[in-house]
Chains A and B, each alone.
Chain A
Amino acid sequence: MPATLQHLLGIKGLSTESIHQIFETADNFKQLLNSPVKKTPSLRDFTVANLFFENSTRTRVSFELAEKRLGADIVNFSSSSSSVKKGETLIDTVNNILSMKVDMVVMRHPAPGACMFLARHVNAQIVNAGDGTHEHPTQALLDAFSIREKLGSVYGKKVVIVGDILHSRVALSNIFCLQQLGADVMVCGPSTLIPKHISGLGVKVEHNLEKALQWCDVANMLRIQLERQDIKYFPSLREYSMQYGLTGALLNKLDKEIVIMHPGPINRGVEISSEVADSSHSIILQQVENGVAVRMAVLYLLAQHQLEQSRA
């Protein structure tokens, strides 16, 4: 019997086999999404709650579409318009929602580890849609899936993650996922935005963007997370942009073509110029498209686990 997942809390702890299983299932969903009728009834007896305690556009729409296209019933919840404002705890909020016969919870939360905490204290399957600066597993999966689609495989590829590594959950999940699949990973950014001990994860560190680009096959550009920065990490956005902004001129200097990725939202003219973001090197919109297929695969496989449990 193939291995199935109970929760998706992070990439850490996920086996290579599970990641490949997600990708192969996502291949089928991608094909389905490109057929005239984009729906399946496979989760029609299933209810998912989307709990977003933090703002999101892409991830939330992507999960919602994935759930709807699998035929699941969904309920959306955002902290700004809920009883959380009245002082209810996270566990109470979730248990109240679960008592209305919800099978799975997709949660985004500003606190690192919130999903892990929840998985230990409530009886439901949890999908992490981003927990603070910790992990964003579905983003890493769709990034790796997009690299695999564009370059044929992730194994042996050189990927540089550029920008605010310190505050980025996307960076951490990407590092775990890419390394698990056999890619070589480098991080690049000003030293104030690179965590001190990150080389302990086995990644290379580079502070010069041009050198990093010369090394890599794929560059994943990250946004500066101003909302998580309580102190100044660099003198000005303009200076950051001059040192770490990806421009057409910089790409033209390279003696090869590289793939440009960005998890969004893009700050045009800061970490990436419009010229590069809209160029043929960029697979930013393919990433978004693949996000729905990958999330469908995750939800589909998780739903199968519930069956295993209920039979046991």
Chain B
Amino acid sequence: MEAKILINNQQTELIIRRFVLQLIEHHGNLENCAIIGLQPRGVSLSRQLMDKLNELKPGHQAKYGELDNTFFRDDIRRGEIHLPRPSKIDFSTENLNIVLVDDVLFTGRTIRAGIDALMNFGRPARVELMVLVDRRYNRELPIAADYHGVVVDSRSTGEYVKVEWNPNNNQTWLLPNKG
């Protein structure tokens, strides 16, 4: 299999626009809502999402934060060395509707760690998951996305989805392997 573009720049823009409209459809003015990007790669999407939200729904009430899940991973001391990145959540998540944002949903383990990290900031009313790419047949934990950009049906764990966030040129690739 050769490397191919899964989502080009224009499609990425449309997906982010759709995400914003879906959020408005479900949560209105987003009062009592917080958008939280998962470090490191989810924040690229969550920042662009917030830009689009500010453009399409000025005066919305959504809070914004970024979350690092390093200390809650289940593979600490089992694989690579994991160094943390900063979390920025300057509000309590108590009773909020949280939309957790990441680029790719694969095994579900990153999201599990993210939810655990999130719970340290309070008890949210509900947590939703938004991902650009959902590799739905590769789950290792019972986790599902509430909002997804595209779904990849590949069952091969060797294939790799890589999202490149560049200013005005976002591209998502499906690669035959991680290297």
Contact = CB atoms under 8 A, between A and B. Distances in A.
Interface stretch (A21-29, A201-209, A256-264): A21-29
A159 interface: no
B80 A1 contact: yes
B121 interface: yes
Contacts of B1: none
Most central of A2, A24, A32, A303 by chain B CB within 10 Å: A32
B92 A25 contact: no
Contacts of B87: 28, 31
A255 interface: no
A306 interface: yes
20 contacts: A2-B81, A4-B81, A25-B83, A25-B84, A28-B71, A28-B84, A28-B85, A28-B87, A31-B87, A35-B120, A37-B120, A37-B121, A38-B120, A40-B71, A41-B116, A42-B71, A42-B73, A303-B76, A303-B77, A304-B81
Contact of B72 (A4, A29, A36, A42): A42
B86 interface: yes
Interface in B102-121: 116, 119-121
Contacts of B68: 28
Given A42-B71, A42-B72, A304 B82 contact: yes
A32 B71 contact: yes
Interface in A1-52: 1-2, 4, 21, 24-25, 27-29, 31-32, 35-43, 45-46
B77 A24 contact: no
Contacts of B122: 36
A28 B81 contact: no
Interface in B43-102: 68, 70-73, 76-78, 80-87, 89, 92
Contacts of B80: 1
- 8 closest cross-chain pairs (CB), A and B: A40-B71, A28-B84, A37-B120, A307-B77, A42-B71, A304-B81, A35-B120, A42-B76
B83 A21 contact: yes
A23 to B, nearest CB: 12
A24 to B, nearest CB: 7
A20 B84 CA distance: 13
B83 A2 contact: yes
Contacts of B86: 27-28, 31
Contacts of A39: 120
A227 interface: no
Contact of B78 (A1, A32, A307): A307
Contact of B77 (A29, A36, A45): A45
Contacts of B72: 40-42
A29 B68 CA distance: 11
B77 to A, nearest CB: 4
Given A36-B121, A37-B119, A28 B70 contact: yes
A308 interface: yes
Contacts of A31: 86-87
Contacts of B78: 307
B145 to A, nearest CB: 25
A39 to B, nearest CB: 8
